[in-house]
Amino acid sequence: MKVGTALSLALLMLMTTTLAGCVSNDTEVLDVFHGEDLPSDDPEYDISEFSLIKPDGNMTNLSDYEGQVLIVSFIYSRCPDVCPVVSSNLRWISQQLADDYETNFSIVSITVDPWWDSQSVLGQYATERNLSWPHLTGDVATLEPVWESFHVGLQTYINESAGNESDGTSGRHHPDYLVDHSTATIIIDKEHKQRVRWNDLDWEPTLFAEDVQQLMDE
């Protein structure tokens, strides 16, 4: 083998090894949480300031949680399955990390059904389940940008399982409608960047708590 050829092969092997190492390191950096890691430098995950109504009539702003890790869930009071489980899991998180709760991290739940979920309705939902964090509502025009920021997709439909029949109108115009929402519970960091997504029921509370702790430690 000629010297030039051997040198070229050696350089090629060195470059391949170096590039492989770079890819491996990048992958390692992006996979640091138990939940789905979100690219905090991607504008698609930027969060705009919001101002929503608590059950007591006072307003809650994103800026109220400056310097804290914030858990954001999306629920609605008449949800028959996923929402109560998520709420129960979050109550467990608040108890397990009680020393840091409301000082180093907080929780808010935002409705996806403002047509039904008034301040009093959400207040009752929280009281019945012993949930200590704000459950927020507002008008549709105020909530839509928030849903969009957190990639919440939803539609309303008639609850046909209760014996209702569709009459061609949108679900929320029917007295017995439900909300189908594709969403997740999001953990945002102290700089209010979306960092971790846990989809619907696919999250384990113990691991979720570890992700919260990791962000508090940053």
Residue spans of the domains in the chain: they are 1-31, 36-217
**pLDDT attached to residue 178:** 54
Backbone angles phi, psi at 24, to 5 degrees: -60, -40
**pLDDT attached to residue 29:** 52
**What fold is seen in the domain 36-217?**
Glutaredoxin (3.40.30)
| Contact of 108 with 72, CB cutoff 8 Å | yes
170-178, Cβ contacts within 8 angstroms, sequence gap of 24 or more:
172/113, 172/115, 178/78, 178/79, 178/80
| Contact of 143 with 111, CB cutoff 8 Å | yes
pTM above 0.85, yes or no: no
**pLDDT attached to residue 173:** 37
- The string of pLDDT tens digits covering residues 105-114 is 999 999 998 9
Q: What is the rounded CA–CA span in Å between residue 122 and residue 33? A: 31
**pLDDT attached to residue 165:** 43
**pLDDT attached to residue 24:** 43
| Contact of 185 with 90, CB cutoff 8 Å | yes
* Amino acid (1-letter code) at residue 71: I
Q: Using 70 as the pLDDT threshold, list the residues of the chain that sit under it.
A: 1-30, 154-183
**pLDDT attached to residue 45:** 87
**pLDDT attached to residue 155:** 57
